Amino acid sequence: METPKTISVELEVQKKGRTAIVTFNSPNLRRPFLETLWQVMIDLENDDEIGAIIFTGRKNVFMTGADLKEILALTEANAAVRFLGLPHLLVTMFCQSSKVLIAAINGYCLGGGLEFALACDLRIAVHEVRSGDGRPLPYLGFPETKLGLIPAVGGAYLASEILGIGRAKELFMRAEPITAEYALQIGLVNSLVAREHLLDEAEHLAQQILDNSVPALKLVKRLLRPGLTGSRLRCALRETAAVFAECCTHGDKAERIVRASEERRLRFRSLA
């Protein structure tokens, strides 16, 4: 039986049998959102009745990435490194989770949002996101270098592990969003589904997986993702923090963020 939703300003959690559905109410990775997600993940990780966690968003937005106001305020290296402490703990928890993690990408999934999706075991996405006038839009990508930044939540490491170094360089260096079809072609997502069936498909996939041996699933996760646990992940995140701090203190991120903030506000006003 479906249990009532636990509602907060930042996200909602709904338990359906052995699957938990986490719905993001916030369109970006604000500090309060990260703190709430951290506590929710601890609770679900310790819940023996839950075997899979599905993450999804609202309307046409899965997660648009960092709060640019918070990034703009980072002008000192140590502060920039500290800023990444909690998101790095979260992405490590995702990578090392004993649960099956599925990102059900319902819309715009950019920057840090896509980094967290890559930290999940599987990603399914809607076929398309449409503009106000009905045009299909590319909606997955890493815009960081346009902002004078780098993917700060382990995305460079995760993408190179999953896609290969060539595809990862293409995504980060071009910094342009890609279509769902191209994301499927390069292996960024595992499958595409119609918007109205997204959660049903995610729940069906979770149930298919959980019908298998749970101990065996945990061992398979350990075998298939050795690079996403242990020392290699820790080293990658330390290097990411150092490079992010350099961007914040020596780059042109302030000018680029101010320019991009207005563009983002106009783009997502009708979607979030």
Q: Output the pLDDT for position 187.
A: 97
Q: What average pLDDT does range 43-65 have in this prediction?
A: 95
Q: Is the pLDDT of residue 272 over 50?
A: no
**pLDDT tens digit sequence for 88-114:** 999 999 999 999 999 999 999 999 999
148: left (phi over 0), alpha (psi -120 to 50) or beta: left
Does residue 142 contact residue 110 with C-beta atoms inside 8 Å? Answer: yes
Q: CA angle at residue 192 from 150 to 33, to 5 degrees?
A: 45
Query: Kind of pairing, strands 11-16 and 19-24?
Result: antiparallel
pTM of this structure: 0.92
Long-range pairs, 205-208, Cβ under 8 A, ≥24: 205/102, 205/122, 205/124, 206/18, 206/19, 206/51, 206/52, 206/54, 206/100, 206/102, 207/17, 207/18, 207/19
Give the model's confidence band at 271: pLDDT under 50 very low, under 70 low, under 90 confident, else very high: very low
Q: What average pLDDT does range 223-248 have in this prediction?
A: 83
Asked, for residue 134, whether it belongs to a domain, the answer is yes
CA separation for the pair 109, 29 (Å, rounded): 12
**pLDDT tens digit sequence for 146-193:** 999 999 999 999 999 999 999 999 999 999 999 999 999 999 999 999
CATH of the domain at 182: 3.90.226.10
Q: Where are the alpha helices (DSSP H) in 58-135?
A: 68-72, 77-83, 85-96, 112-118
Q: Output the pLDDT for position 234.
A: 87
CA separation for the pair 252, 271 (Å, rounded): 29
Range of the domain at 114: 6-268
Token pair belonging to 110:
């950019």
Cβ burial, residue 229 (10 Å; 0-12/13-18/19+): middle
Q: Residues 6 or more apart from 6 whose CB is under 8 A from it? A: 12, 13, 14
Asked, for residue 37, whether it belongs to a domain, the answer is yes
Asked, for residue 62, whether it belongs to a domain, the answer is yes
Q: Residues 6 or more apart from 81 whose CB is under 8 A from it? A: 241, 242, 244, 245
Q: How many domains does the structure of the chain reveal?
A: 1
Q: Output the pLDDT for position 232.
A: 84
Partner residues linked to 225 by β-bridges: none
Q: What average pLDDT does range 207-224 have in this prediction?
A: 91
Asked, for residue 1, whether it belongs to a domain, the answer is no
